[in-house]
Structure 1
């Protein structure tokens, strides 16, 4: 089992797709990382050698992106700042409503949660 940045990578996936399980790494940056580590993209995570995992770890430490905990903290602080300055986006975050202008009369179910039936609404 390969463990990078505190994340256990899935066992039988290609290394490019397994790296996307790390918060902050998408498919494009995963492909760049694999290329820098000189690992065959077809390699599965359970076939990774110790030297290759050390190379991946070194590349991730020196990579210019914020990853995992740092990225989560950065995003959390940005949302907290929006809440504190009481702007429109901050209010929407606080009330668990869509932030980027989507309609809420219909849709927005994943953001608002499951339906709550209101009695006596029909006229």
Structure 2
């Protein structure tokens, strides 16, 4: 398995689909990453060379993903709760938000 951003991406899937298994990368961003790294989006991860995988790692590293993104989101929610604003109160009570 190839490790990108600290995650083992599935090797049997196409590059675009495999990249979406990383938290913070959706299909649009995965296509942008493939284009920037000059990797075919329909190529399977197991068929990529080490240089192509390294190019993907470099491009993914430019974005906030996985643990850093989760921490950022949780800190934003904590800040809203501490402020006591409407959204923070809704978060605290486990109610739906806008």
- The normalised TM-score by structure 2 is 0.91
Please show how residues 79-90 of structure 1 align to structure 2 within 5 Å.
79-90=77-88
If you compute each CA radius of gyration, which structure gives the higher value, 1 or 2? Answer: 1
Unaligned runs of 5+ in 1: 101-123
Structure with more helix by fraction: 2
Instruction: Kindly state the Cα deviation for residue 97 of structure 1 after the two structures are TM-superposed.
Output: 1.3
Instruction: Kindly state the Cα deviation for residue 8 of structure 1 after the two structures are TM-superposed.
Output: 1.0
Structure 1 runs of 4+ with >4 Å offset: none
Aligned to 2:58: 58
Q: Which has the higher contact order (CA 8 A, sep 6+)?
A: 2
Instruction: Say whether 1:7 aligns with 2:13.
Output: no
Structure 1 residues 5-33: Cα deviation after superposition (integer angstroms, max 9, x where no partner): 11111121110111011111111111111
Give, in whole Å, the separation in 1 of the partners of 2:94 and 2:45: 38
